Amino acid sequence: MSALGMKDSRQDAPAFAGVTGAPSKAFQIEGLSVKAGSAKILQDVTFDVAEGESLAIIGPNGAGKTTLLRSLMRMIPGVTGGIRVFGQSLAACSQRELARMVSYVPQAEGRTLPFTVREFMLMARYPHMSPFSHLTARDHEVVEQAMERTGVTAFADRNMDTLSGGERQKVFVAAALAQEPRAILLDEPTTFLDYRHQVEVLELVERLHREGGLTVVSVTHDLNQGALAGDRVLALRQGRTIFHGTPKELLAHPEILSGIYDTEFDYITHPHTGAIIVAPIKGQP
């Protein structure tokens, strides 16, 4: 059951592959908690993500969304609980093994990187290289294919610091793809981008998910294009799970969304697509 009493439609499925009809799991999280000193950032978070599924993680600022994502990449200390990645214990995986399974795209930012796009993307091939090996023809081929699939070939020889925020974010997605992962984690991938580049990045990720079968887990503040467009939604509040289910289930219970954000929402039918979109109601006390 979700924290608000809604039944997760997959909660009774076996948590392992190998049984007829049982979905394999990309991530299995059991009782995940994170402390920073005496502060509890995450508390007893439990959920799973089926292989090939897209999951959006939502919640107000300070809910623990980024901490959760970074926990799955073993990027922070103070983590307790169980995490399995494609059936393997995260604690038992080497960093190279983890990088072969999962890639990570950080928030859009303005950091300077003294590399060309192609050079930056070739560095993403490190999980497939031994410590003293050189780049192979296969490495170059994968990078070229990733650039083509993500539409960044046109600026392959430009320096990263000459790109716009939207172009740079597409390169980060392309580099993540060049790792040849089975899953991709994205931390607010469209933050600070204009509307055009938001749409381009979201459409790119959706295409990779639908056509390439990638498992996608993304932190987002965009309810309409981000959370409600995916397969499932995980909502956090004050480090705890408030909801885990489908977008349809979330929309069917307006009190859940208002409880997550402490605000009421209007539910509007899009005049062209018929999709339900949500908008916070202004002027509330």
Confidence band for 284, pLDDT divided at 50, 70 and 90? low
Confidence band for 263, pLDDT divided at 50, 70 and 90? very high
Instruction: Give the pLDDT confidence score for residue 21 in this predicted structure.
Output: 52
**204, 151 contact by CB (below 8 A):** yes
Instruction: Give the pLDDT confidence score for residue 198 in this predicted structure.
Output: 87
Instruction: Give the pLDDT confidence score for residue 14 in this predicted structure.
Output: 33
Average pLDDT over every residue of 136-152: 95
Give the CA distances from residue 46 to residues 58, 236, 250, in Å, rounded to whole numbers and listed in that order.
15, 11, 18
Per-residue pLDDT reduced to its tens digit, 39-91: 999 999 999 999 999 999 999 999 999 999 999 999 999 999 999 999 999 99
Q: What is the mean pLDDT of the chain?
A: 88
DSSP the chain: --TTSPPPTTTTS-SSSSSTTPPPEEEEEEEEEEEETTEEEEEEEEEEEETT-EEEEE-STTSSHHHHHHHHTT-SS-EEEEEEETTEEGGGS-HHHHHHHEEEE---------SBHHHHHHHTTGGGS-TT----HHHHHHHHHHHHHHT-GGGTTSBGGGS-HHHHHHHHHHHHHHT--SEEEEESTTTT--HHHHHHHHHHHHHHHHHH--EEEEE-S-IIIIITTSSEEEEEETTEEEEEE-HHHHHT-HHHHHHHHTS-EEEEE-TTT--EEEEEPTT--
Confidence band for 132, pLDDT divided at 50, 70 and 90? confident
Instruction: Give the pLDDT confidence score for residue 262 in this predicted structure.
Output: 94
**33, 68 contact by CB (below 8 A):** no
Confidence band for 103, pLDDT divided at 50, 70 and 90? very high
Confidence band for 106, pLDDT divided at 50, 70 and 90? confident
- pTM value is 0.87
Per-residue pLDDT reduced to its tens digit, 1-47: 344 434 343 333 333 333 445 569 999 999 999 999 889 999 999 99
Instruction: Give the pLDDT confidence score for residue 285 in this predicted structure.
Output: 54
Instruction: Give the pLDDT confidence score for residue 92 in this predicted structure.
Output: 94
Domains and CATH numbers, the chain: 25-108+181-280 (3.40.50.300)
Q: How far apart are CA 140 and CA 53, in angstroms?
A: 29
Confidence band for 215, pLDDT divided at 50, 70 and 90? very high
**128, 146 contact by CB (below 8 A):** no
Confidence band for 111, pLDDT divided at 50, 70 and 90? low
Question: Which neighbouring-strand residues pair with 215?
Answer: 183
Average pLDDT over every residue of 126-142: 89
Average pLDDT over every residue of 262-284: 87
Confidence band for 283, pLDDT divided at 50, 70 and 90? low
Helix axis angle, 165-178 relative to 195-212, nearest 10°?
10
Average pLDDT over every residue of 212-235: 91
**68, 264 contact by CB (below 8 A):** no
Higher per-residue confidence, 240 vs 276: 240
Instruction: Give the pLDDT confidence score for residue 272 in this predicted structure.
Output: 85
Instruction: Give the pLDDT confidence score for residue 22 in this predicted structure.
Output: 57
Instruction: Give the pLDDT confidence score for residue 274 in this predicted structure.
Output: 85
Task: Mark residue 252 as left, alpha or beta (left: phi above 0; alpha: psi -120 to 50; beta: remaining).
Answer: alpha
